[in-house]
Structure 1
Amino acid sequence: MPDRDVVSWTGMLSAYVRNGRYDEALEFFDSMSISGQCPNEFTLSSVLRSCSLLGDFDYGTRIHAYVIKLGFESNQYLGSTMIDLYAKCGFTDEACKIFKNMDNRDTISWTTIISSLVQAEKFSQALAHYMDMICAGVHPNEFTFVKLLAASYSLGLNYGKLLHAHLIRLGMRLNLVLKTALVNMYSKYQKMEDAIKVSNQTPDYDVLLWTSVISGFTQSLRVTDAIAALHEMELSGIVPNNFTYSSILKASSEILSLELGKQIHSRIIKAGLEYDTCAGGALVDMYMKCSDLAEDALEAFRDITSPSVITWTSLIAGFSEHGFEKDSFQSFAEMRAVGVQPNSFTLSSILRACSTVKSHSQTVKLHGLIVKTKAGCDTVVGNALVDAYAALGMVDDAWHVVTSMIHRDAITYTCLATRMNQMCRYEVALDVIVRMYMDDVEMDGFSMASFLSSSAGLAAMETGRQLHCYSIKAGLASGISVSNALVDLYGKCGCTDDAYRAFKGISEPDIVSWNGLISGLASTGHISSALSTFDDMRLAGFKPDSITFLLVLFACSHGGLVELGLEHFQSMREKHEIAPQLDHYACLVDLLGRAGRLEDAMEVIMTMPFKPDALIYKTLLGACKSHRNIALGEYVARQGIELDPSDPAFYVLLANLYEESGQPDLAKSTRRVMRERGLKKNPGQCWMEIRNKVHLFNAGDRSHPQINEIHEKVESLITELKNRGNLYQDYEDSSYHSEKLAVAFGLLRTPRNASVRISKNMRICSECHNFIMLVTQFVDREIIVRDGNRLHVFKKGECSCMVAASLQQDEIFHNSVCHS
């Protein structure tokens, strides 16, 4: 063209934009500027649209300056385009200022600012602008309502219903776009009857509307209705697309139906969509969740032409959840090698794999990548990184990540508290509450359950009751996780009545609820009640799991019910199809060992389908000690020392066996060998909570600020025992055991009618057990001691464990049952 005017330049520029060639459009505008041709409002609108779609904010602000210079700032068309540019680049406040400065704002400009606020998740502001729009007399169109209905996903169902009523009142025509938005809104809140009613108001249907209906049914887990809708869609002549099939596959993943997933897979192949990123990604996710074979998901993944980051994430997360962490790491490396950048979900998935395998090197590498890519700004990534470091026991590093996060939520602190509980660092876990309060983060059901578990671990009754009160006030007490944690708390603190009340308050108890109640009853010596609760659970229609049987075997063992315990063990595989694990065999050995059936217990170890561990040998060695079987005890000790030569328990138990069997020389030589190998018996510790402060006592400890007063109290109790004619022998080496120090302190510092609650890190020794029983004959107080294995409730000269001799065996039986 010999002569190019603004119209020809603008026409060519518009063609570039319509074809998605935005970079070339900007280069073309630069050429136009160099030629001296002055742009008009239509030229600038195309350029601004290119900047908006490219996210090129710097270039966009230059064009904004052009607009002001040429006097177009009040132009409605250009104003709407500039609002869109600023909003898409994250400058919502600036977009609002541009909107306020516009003259004669029309439906398009109002809809644009509302859309921008919805996009920025400022939903209340979007709704307020809609109210202002109506007050200004500007009539909204269907796109205005589509954007507002999207905002109602977060504002609530009532807002969505009000918008629906308003569009009816305004006489809006229910076209396909508006109808699909309404169906999506009702589906989001699982109001499928309302969604179907809206979809049937007009005969118009397309693939998007049908897909919205099907997606709504799958979100409500109404899979049969979703399949029926798919058939109806096909009968109407509308062909499903990749999103339609993805919705059905999502339902397959939710209900873990591999058969349904395979049927949809065959339809996807028939439709030629197996190479599609969306459908292929849904197939990968379905096979990972529904199939036991990771190869099925991998095969579906390899069919995809260009896997997206979502598809890669499904594969990585699936490998991690199936226990194939190495494959997860390898897939992550391959994804980066082909140039696909991980998103926040990818990073959180691979960090979960690091938490599972406790890989320090992988965690540090990923942390470096997160810092480099500034992905740590994302709360999901930050939380996953906190959990990974805490899982490694690197508490300081975890806290460093927490403090560096821009935004912290309840999940951040729940991750920390949960990991602290797993490491038995209950005091540190409870300190997290203070940090949450200072950060103005409210507890949710999961964080509350974690803190209640911390209180249970410390037997911190006062803290636990305060948390219980707060959970009621905050409306969290009705949640199943909180309710179960309350049952566990009261059970571990020996408050069986409170535990039972907490259990009865659960409207729909699950297997965890029943297990918590059984555990609390069994550990406090209420054997008959524990076994009766087990029967009640089965009558209520609950199928016992492996933890249930650990608890039942524990109850039978401590109740001396050998035949019943054997019967329950046999029923695991025969009646309930539960394969006994190593912990169950340890319970069985303990059951037989307590009854003196040592040969039977040894036969169990020799014939079980697992390689014996140190715990099971310690259990049997404790039984040999109780029944003074030196020959078998020596054999068991040798086997255990071979497995774990650094465990001092084998030497201590063997020495005690020799001593109690009248062979002090052998006992002395065993202890000498132990010392020569640099092994020491774990020191006994007791702790108790008084007025929200935990007091710690060690054997022979003199560091407590009131230690002199405590010693005087111990001595006065011993004197009183002797004056009352009790046959109490005062052993010099045990006078200041941590149990006695804690009892004395508790009697000094707790109200007269209050129970004294003590926790101990290992089994209470028989001498201290006898001491506390005798003390409660003349001290009218309930003394509750939770040792490493069970609860001892001392009252009026008796203990809930009933048989003092059983303490010798309790020294050993310290496995997962104790912490279930």
Structure 2
Amino acid sequence: MGVLTNWCFSYSVGFGKFVTPCFYASPLFFPSLGTNSQIQQVISFSLRRSIFYALLHYTHFDQIRPVYSTLQRDHPIQSPKSIKFYLSKEVCSWVLSFSNSRSLKEGMCVHSPIIKLGLQDDLLLNNNLLSLYGKCFGVEQAWKMFDGMSDKDVVSWTGMISAYVRSGKHEEALELFNWMIVSGLVPNEFTFSSVLRSCSSLGEFELGTCIQARIIKHGFESNPVLGSTLINLYSKCNKFLEVSDIFASMENGDTVSWTATISSFVRARDWTQSLRLYSRMIRMGVPPNEFTFVELLAASVFLGLDHGKLVHAHVILWGIKLNKILKTALVDMYSKCQRMGDAEKVSVQTPEADVLLWTALISGYTRVLDVAGAIAIFRKMITRGFMPNNFTYAGVLNACSSILDLRLGQQIHLKVIQAGLEHDVSVGNALVDMYMKCSSLMGFALKAFEEILSPNIISWTSLIAGFTQHGFEGQAFQAFFEMRIVGEEPNSFTLSSILKACHKVGSLNQVQSLHAYILKTKLDTDTTVANALIDVYARLQVLDYAWRVFNMMNHRDAITYTSLATMINHMGNHEMTVNILTNMHNNGVKMDDFSLASFLCAYASLAAIEPGKQLHCYAVKSSLCRWISVSNGLVDFYGKCGSMHDACRIFMEITEPNIVSWNGLISGLALNGHFFSALSRFEDMKLAGIEPDNITFLLVLYACSHGGLVDQGLEYFHSMSKSYNMIPQLDHYVCLVDLLGRAGRLEEAVNVIETMPFTADALIYKTMLASCRLHGNIALGEDMARRVLELDQSDPAIYVLLANMYDDAGRSDLGNQTRQLMRQRGLRKNPGQSWIEIRNKVHVFKAGDRSHPQINEIHEKLESLGARLDSLGYSYEDNASSSYHSEKLAVGFGLLGTTSRAPIRIIKNLRICKDCHTFIRLVTEVVDREIIMRDGNRYHMFKKGDCSCRGYW
């Protein structure tokens, strides 16, 4: 019976048909049956050994130990001969091979029998044992095994090198490889593969090329495994051109080599080429695997959602199993494309999940500013039994930073402490960033920073940026110096942050010192650093240095041009700003939302409506209109160009107008003389739930001042503190003085100056002086002039205002004396300039200038108009002295250069004079043309003999 059973087992194993019921009926698996003599006679040693082999063959490894233990219990080992009877070298080898393939620690149970069998010097078994020790028990145990081996071959050395590589001890792996070479052994392809992985991890490119030379010498250059490892080495060392050469030299690239090459293009940020290579891979008949799609999904993040969906479709088409790695990559792709619904759908397609998957979901919700969603995922993760890691907590803290929720951030901080992760650098960096953004108290951020065991460059940069943001420039400089003392060298973001601190303190010397350091460390080639230098030099109005950095840059991006254009535009040089746009276009740099808004601002300042409309068209074609910064820029542009119909239309297209949108609309309405509409929009803004800011009240007070709405303006001024808990600033008091002064309530205006909580500056006295001139109060005007001259004697506008006041009062002698005093002090009145745009070209006119090629025709046109105005009571001859004023010249040229019914748009740098205002107003009555002029103070919409200012200018 025993012989028959043995034969049945052998037959079943041999043909792969394992008879489970008969097998499990064995007394070996029913210890309660006992071990009576009859059963022992039936179940022979031979049968037990057959069961042992069957278990091994059918991977029932967890049952090997009971079988082996039962064999030992029922038949104690008497001699080596009896051991060999049921446990042979073949069985040991089989157990070790099976264990190695699955990294099972239980396989070590045969080490003792190997010694008892006297097989401890068997090289094959020892190599298998060495491999298993390295996989399951770490490099130290593997080394003990390796060191005790009496005989070692290339497999032994390779196994030990692989153990070092697997544990991340790459220096030791390379050292052991050198010993192997010295011992005279020739490496095989697996040895080279392990050593190349160490070179990749350490960035040892030169050593890697030496290994490559050995590979070629030993004839392994066509090996696909080594080709993939070489591709990985070259790509990690940023040698992307050589990657293509290595790949092209491979005769039969497999899936691994194709995937490694695709990965190199992803690492090189050549996203399009990575997808092209995938297409070629498919055409060559090489099937992709899950790692191929992981790399393609990483590229799709930067190419857009459509590419990501296409890659996802190919995952389904190829029937790739959705394991945790691939599923996490899909979730990450959808979340970075802000499609959290799709990300969640993918995450539940299979039950498997890990911390990385949950963290990807949390980061995705953080990215779309759905903090509630991020916290919900965080809670669900904990409920499902997954312990958050450092990256998970960092993601949740970033969510708190994005909505400036300090209380929630502190709750997460408590969870971090409970998890013992407050010393982790990733979590610590997120805590520093959160506290810097959510709190004005620096103590919290400093405490979080001090808890980090090993602060890295991100830690220091977050600290420096936070100090700069909150106005603690001194602490920012101190942190910068301490960072360098501890040996941490700044990166581009650190330098950008410290350069901002230099701008805030206005220290050109510190900027130049940092610039010298940047040149010394060759960081000037970094675009981010160069952009920061341009920005700080431009903000400090040292344009020569800014241009010098600009011209030395090898690569310029949209930020480069935006920083330069913004500051030059802010300085009032709008023509140069427009030239920057031309330069940007010629260099092939595309505008982004910020640069487009900056150039719209320049055209708005020039009232150049046609080029501005072209930018509007570009914004529509490039889909930049969806950015609120661009929409706000368009509202401001059309408002400053006097086209309120277009400004209102753009405003109505904004889905969720912010405070900047509302301020732009109110400003345009006020500038164009629609004062009641401006105040009505202000009320609409409050009904929409938008809280007004300081700028809003400046605009409202301006509208009330220029519209003669004194009592309403006073009510708005007092509502700042009563209704909105806002403290009026000096600019608001200037507007209040202008409001009262224009209305002739000079005593109240003086009382405001004397009782306001600020020291009066030159601007407020000049505003009061202008009101005194308007109402002919010479005594008070002289007092205001005396006060302002005590503060600033170099401003020619003061002398001009005082002289004009004397002229208006019939005291020309005093007016001439004032002008003589101005000349004695070496001061000159700013020359009047006017700009007019015709057929996309801006023409500039200066007072008394005769350089324009059509100046004679312009004067003839003005004389002709003057003759026609005689019937309306205007004497051109009596006002011939003002015929050289720049605004009149611009009007004459505009009428000559245009034949259409389109409005003539003019800008003047100074306030329009009384005579020119009357002249232009009457011209629109006789020629039936609309003339829109923006002077240094407001808009004038001349039409059919009327002006939008209603004479209140």
Report if TM-score (shorter chain) is over 0.5: yes
1:763 pairs with 2:911: yes
Aligned to 2:894: 746
Q: Quote the Cα distance in structure 1 between the aligned partners of 2:617 and 2:365.
A: 39
* Residue 554 of structure 2 is aligned to residue 554 of structure 1: no
Structure 1 residue 408 corresponds to structure 2 residue 556: yes
Q: Out of 535, 543, 568, which is 1:420 matched to?
A: 568
Aligned to 2:718: 570
Query: Cα 1:109–1:478, aligned 2, differ >3 Å: closer, same or farther?
Result: closer
TM-score, normalised via structure 2 length: 0.80
CA RMSD of aligned residues (A): 2.6
Counterpart amino acid of 1:344?
Answer: S
Name 1:197's counterpart in structure 2. 345
- Range with greater deviation from structure 2 (1-10 or 698-707): 1-10
Using a 3 Å threshold, how does the CA distance of structure 1 residues 51 and 469 change in structure 2: closer, same or farther?
same
1:293 match: 441
Could you say which residue in structure 2 is the equivalent of 1:676? 824
Q: Which moved more, 1:421-430 or 1:113-122?
A: 113-122
Does 2:915 match 1:795?
no
Residues 170, 419 of structure 1: alpha-carbon distance in 2 compared, 3 angstrom cutoff: same
| 1:359 aligned residue | 507
Match of 2:259 among 111, 117, 140: 111
Cα pair distance change 1:172/1:496, threshold 3 Å = closer
Letter matched to residue 605 of structure 2: G
Q: Is the 8 A contact 1:487 1:513 kept in 2?
A: yes
Distance in 2 separating the partners of 1:219 and 1:773: 56
Does the 8 Å contact 1:752/1:781 carry over to 2? no
Cα distance in 1 between the residues matched to 2:309 and 2:487: 45
Q: Secondary structure at the match of 1:688?
A: strand
Aligned to 2:862: 714
Deviation track 1:179-232 (CA, whole Å, cap 9, x = no partner) reads: 322322232233333333333344433322332232233223332332233333
Change in CA separation of 1:584 and 1:375 when aligned onto 2, cut-off 3 Å: same
Contact 1:41 1:72 in 2 (8 A): yes
Change (3 A) 1:500 1:213: closer
- C-alpha distance in 2 between matches for 1:245 and 1:539: 39
What is the letter of the counterpart of residue 310 of structure 1? Answer: I
Distance 2:622 2:356 in 1: 41
- 1:609-657: CA deviation from partner (whole Å, max 9, x where unpaired): 2222211111111111222223322222222122222112222222333
Q: Secondary structure at the match of 1:575?
A: helix
Distance 2:312 2:575 in 1: 52
How far, CA to CA, are the matches of 2:803 and 2:193 in structure 1? 91
Indicate the SS of the match to 1:245: helix
Distance 1:720 1:139, change over 3 A: closer
Deviations 1:762-805 (A, max 9, x none): 111112212222333323322222100111122333222111xx
The equivalent of 2:497 in structure 1 is 349
Of 752-761 and 155-164, the range deviating more from structure 2: 155-164
Aligned pair partner of 2:613 in 434, 453, 465: 465
Q: Deviations over 1:684-732 (max 9, x none)?
A: 1112122222222222212223333333333343344347653556345
d(CA) in 2 for partners of 1:456, 1:224: 41
Relative contact order: is structure 1 or structure 2 higher (C-alpha 8 Å, sep ≥ 6)? Answer: 1
| Structure 1 equivalent of residue 602 of structure 2 | 454
Which digits, 9 at most, give the CA deviation of each residue in 1:20-79, with x for residues without a partner? 444454455455555654433333323322222222222222221221121110122221
- Equivalent residue number for residue 818 of structure 1: none
Task: State the structure with more CA Rg.
Answer: 2
Per-residue CA deviation, residues 238-289 of structure 1 (Å, 9 max, x unaligned), is: 3222111111110100111000011111221222222211111000000111
**1:142 alignment partner, one of 285, 290, 298:** 290
Are 1:358 and 1:388, in contact at CA under 8 Å, matched by a contact in 2? Answer: no
The CA distance in 1 between the partners of 2:542 and 2:337, in whole Å, is 41
Q: What is the identity, as a one-letter code, of the residue corresponding to 1:44?
A: F
Q: Which amino acid counterpart does residue 715 of structure 1 have in structure 2?
A: E
Aligned-partner SS, 2:887 = helix
Q: Distance in 2 between the 1:474 and 1:222 partners?
A: 27
Instruction: Please give the per-residue CA displacement for 1:131-190, whole angstroms capped at 9, x wherever unaligned.
Output: 444455544433333222222212333443344444345444433323322322232233
Q: Name the CA shift for 1:83/1:615 in 2 (closer, same or farther; >3 Å).
A: same
Q: Indicate yes or no: 2:868 matched with 1:695.
A: no
Structure 1 residue aligned with 2:136: none
Q: Compared with structure 1, are the counterparts of its residues 471 and 92 closer, same or farther at alpha carbon in structure 2 (3 Å cutoff)? A: same
Aligned residues of 2:866 and 2:875 also touching (Cα < 8 A): no
2: CA distance, partners of 1:162 / 1:464: 39
- Return closer, same or farther for 1:536/1:775 CA change in 2, 3 Å cut-off: same
Distance 1:705 1:532 in 2: 47
**Which residue matches 1:642?**
790
1:598 aligned residue: 746
Tell me whether 656-665 or 479-488 shows the greater mean CA deviation. 656-665
Q: Pairwise mapping of residues 182-261 of structure 1 onto structure 2 (< 5 A)?
A: 182-261=330-409
Give the 3-state SS of the residue equivalent to 2:624 in structure 1.
Answer: coil
Instruction: Report the counterpart of residue 882 of structure 2 in structure 1.
Output: 734
- Between stretches 254-263 and 605-614, larger displacement belongs to 605-614
Q: In the alignment, residue 463 of structure 2 is paired with which amino acid?
A: L
The more displaced of 446-455 and 541-550 is 541-550
Q: Conserved in 1, the CA contact under 8 Å of 2:678 and 2:703?
A: yes
Q: Find the aligned partners of 1:544 and 1:631 in 2 and give their Cα distance.
A: 39
Tell me how far apart the structure 1 counterparts of residues 648 and 396 of structure 2 sit (CA, whole Å): 43
Write the distance in 2 (CA, Å) between the matches of 1:545 and 1:529: 19
Which letter does structure 1 place at the counterpart of 2:773? K
- Choose from 69, 86, 90 the match for 2:217: 69
Contact kept? 2:940, 2:947, Cα under 8 Å: yes
Q: Secondary structure at the match of 2:878?
A: coil
Counterpart secondary structure, 1:753: coil
**How many equivalent residue pairs?**
805
Change in Cα spacing, 1:32 to 1:730, as seen in structure 2 (3 Å) is farther
C-alpha contact (below 8 Å) 2:394/2:430 kept by paired residues: yes
Equivalences for residues 764-783 of structure 1 within 5 A: 764-783=912-931
Amino acid paired to 2:342:
D
C-alpha contact 1:16 1:25 (8 A) present in aligned 2: yes
Q: Does residue 1:98 correspond to 2:246, yes or no?
A: yes
Distance in 1 separating the partners of 2:850 and 2:943: 28
> Cα 1:607–1:44, aligned 2, differ >3 Å: closer, same or farther?
same
Q: Check if 1:42 corresponds to 2:211.
A: no
**Partner of residue 612, structure 1:** 760
Residue 85 of structure 1 and its aligned partner are, at CA, apart by 1.0
Going from structure 1 to structure 2, the CA distance change for 1:549 and 1:729 (only over 3 Å counts) comes to: farther
Counterpart position of 2:37: none
The 2-side partners of 1:468 and 1:130 are apart by 39
| Deviation of 1:290 (Å) | 0.5
Residue identity matched to 1:773 = R
Q: Percent identity?
A: 62
In structure 1, the gaps of 5 or more residues are: 808-820
Q: Is the Cα–Cα contact under 8 Å of residues 744 and 771 in structure 2 kept in the other structure?
A: yes
Amino acid aligned to 1:464: G
Question: 2:877 & 2:697 partners in 1: Cα distance?
Answer: 40
CA spacing shift, 1:231–1:481, aligned 2, 3 Å: closer
More moved, 643-652 vs 169-178: 169-178
Distance in 1, matches of 2:653 and 2:345, equals 39
Q: Which amino acid aligns with 1:726?
A: Y
585-594 or 753-762: bigger deviation: 753-762
> Matched residue of 1:781: which SS?
coil
Q: What TM-score do the two structures reach when normalised by structure 1? A: 0.92
Comparing 634-643 with 534-543, which one deviates more in the overlay?
534-543
Change (3 A) 1:298 1:713: same
| Alignment partners' CA distance in 2, 1:317 and 1:734 | 55
Contact 2:863 2:876 in 1 (8 A): no
User: Secondary structure of 1:686's partner?
Assistant: strand
Q: Which amino acid aligns with 1:432?
A: I
Aligned to 2:102: none
Deviation at 1:338, TM superposition (A): 1.4
Q: Which residue of 1 is the match for residue 473 of structure 2?
A: 325
The 1:785/1:162 distance shift into structure 2, 3 A limit, reads: closer
